[in-house]
Amino acid sequence: MTNSKQIKIYTDIMKAEGEWAAKTRQLLADHKITMYNLIGSPGCGKTALLEALLPLLAANRRCAVLEGDVETDRDAQRLGHLGIPVSQIITSGACHLNAQVVHRAVSELPLEELDIIVVENVGNLVCPSEFDIGETCKLAVLSVTEGEDKPLKYPLLFREAGAAVLTKLDLLPHVPFDLDRCLDFIKRVNGELSVFRVSALRGEGLDAPADWMYARSAEPPQPAH
């Protein structure tokens, strides 16, 4: 069913998307903002991770969040108490955030007052990995309840990401998940990847990923004397 007209149009779309991503990247550079694109399965704990990480990040950096969901603004509501700008993008069925929509949402944030933007992509281990939204870096999120073979079965995300966060470590005693095998599988796919192990529920292991994200961002400007 694939023909040259289809390929042409697909190429046009991807080119336009690439241009939106480049515009976002320029906007971020102009404002010395680091943008992380958080990607993982539905229910892997992305929002819980943000709830736990953002207070640590916000102690040193000015942060904002873009929440991507197929339906509902439940995740934005969950983060509302953090006192930072949170925007909800509802894709109404689409399986990933696209660069144009993200560009618009980024443009509407108070960029002069930010050092870090975290985008929580649509819960999906496949599609969001394929789309550049202008982020500085993708972060892979994988919960130990999903099984240790996911890096082999969904390699693209782990290949593209700058770091991976293993979540729900508190459930490790209760699930058939071989941590060493998982780390080995991640290494096979991407030997460069930093891997962090956290339990957002228990507040454990959060300093390491917070430090990593923090170290890759610019300091807020010092107030003039």
- If one asks whether residue 146 binds its own copies (CB under 8 A), the answer comes out as yes
Among 67, 69, 115, 135, binds its own copies (CB under 8 A): 69
- In whole angstroms, what is the distance from residue 157 CA to residue 127 CA? 9
Among 11, 12, 80, 219, binds its own copies (CB under 8 A): 12
- In whole angstroms, what is the distance from residue 139 CA to residue 46 CA? 10
Q: With respect to its own copies, which residue has the nearer C-beta, 9 or 29?
A: 9
- If one asks whether residue 9 binds its own copies (CB under 8 A), the answer comes out as yes
Provide, rounded to whole angstroms, the least separation between the CB of residue 144 and its own copies: 9
- In whole angstroms, what is the distance from residue 63 CA to residue 83 CA? 10
With residues binned 3-state (H G I as helix, E B as strand, rest as coil), the percentages for the chain, rounded to 5, are 45, 20, 35
> What string marks each residue from 26 to 55 as x (binds its own copies by CB under 8 A) or -?
---------------xxxx-----------
Nearest partner of 62 among 132, 120, 122, 109, judged by Cα:
109
- If one asks whether residue 170 binds its own copies (CB under 8 A), the answer comes out as yes
- If one asks whether residue 16 binds its own copies (CB under 8 A), the answer comes out as yes
Q: What pairs with residue 36 in β-bridges?
A: 118, 137
The helix-helix angle for 4-30 and 99-107 (nearest 10°) equals 20
Q: Is 133:21 a contact under the CB 8 Å cutoff?
A: yes
Stretch 107-126 residues interacting with its own copies (CB under 8 A): 122-126
Query: Which residues in this chain contact its own copies in the complex, by CB under 8 A?
Result: 1, 5-6, 9, 12-13, 16, 41-44, 69-72, 74, 93, 95, 100, 122-127, 130, 143, 145-147, 149-150, 152-156, 168, 170-171, 174-176, 201
